[in-house]
């Protein structure tokens, strides 16, 4: 065998091994995360749009969204360990903290109440 054939053969073997390794790494199991969502509305779309678009999987997360009827149920599930995090509004977090719950708010999408008091004179 000529030297160039040996070099090409070695190169093909090395590249094949590298491709097999890269393929195996790409198929690693994704980290499973359960996320509670306090309702099903357009205001909470930032929770399920990344799921539908595959953004979570792109960054190695297997996110399962668990929908609740409201923030109170979602907070209770978080405190009980049923979900790792929750998408809800601030008042539920504050209520849980005041009652002694060990929960922390990292970010907020609605930091004011979107209500007005309207009364007749």
**Residue 64 belongs to domain spanning:** 31-98
Count how many domains the chain has.
1
Is residue 73 in some structural domain?
A: yes
At 23, list the tokens. Answer: 């393929």
Is residue 19 in some structural domain?
A: no
Is residue 116 in some structural domain?
A: no
Is residue 92 in some structural domain?
A: yes
Is residue 12 in some structural domain?
A: no
Label residue 71 by pLDDT band (50, 70, 90). Answer: confident
Residues 71, 117 contacting (CB under 8 angstroms)? no
Kind and range of the H or E run holding 101 = none
**pLDDT of 114 over the 50 cut:** yes
pTM value surpassing 0.75: no
Min mean pLDDT across 17-21, 43-47, 81-85 is at 17-21
Is residue 121 in some structural domain?
A: no
The confidence score (pLDDT) of residue 98 equals 92
Q: Say which CATH number the domain at 59 has.
A: 3.40.190.10
At 6, list the tokens. Answer: 């040996």
């Amino acid at each position: 065998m000529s030297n160039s054939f040996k070099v090409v053969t070695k190169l093909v073997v090395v590249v094949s091994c590298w491709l097999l390794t890269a393929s195996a790494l790409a198929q690693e199991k994704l980290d499973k995360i359960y996320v509670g969502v306090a309702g099903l509305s357009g205001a909470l779309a930032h929770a399920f749009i990344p799921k539908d678009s595959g953004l979570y999987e792109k960054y190695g997360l297997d996110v399962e969204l668990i929908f609740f009827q409201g923030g109170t149920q979602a907070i209770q599930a978080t405190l009980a360990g049923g979900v790792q995090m929750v998408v809800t509004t601030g008042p539920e977090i504050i209520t849980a903290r005041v009652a002694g719950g060990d929960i922390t708010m990292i970010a907020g999408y609605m930091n004011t109440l979107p209500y007005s008091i309207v009364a007749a004179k």
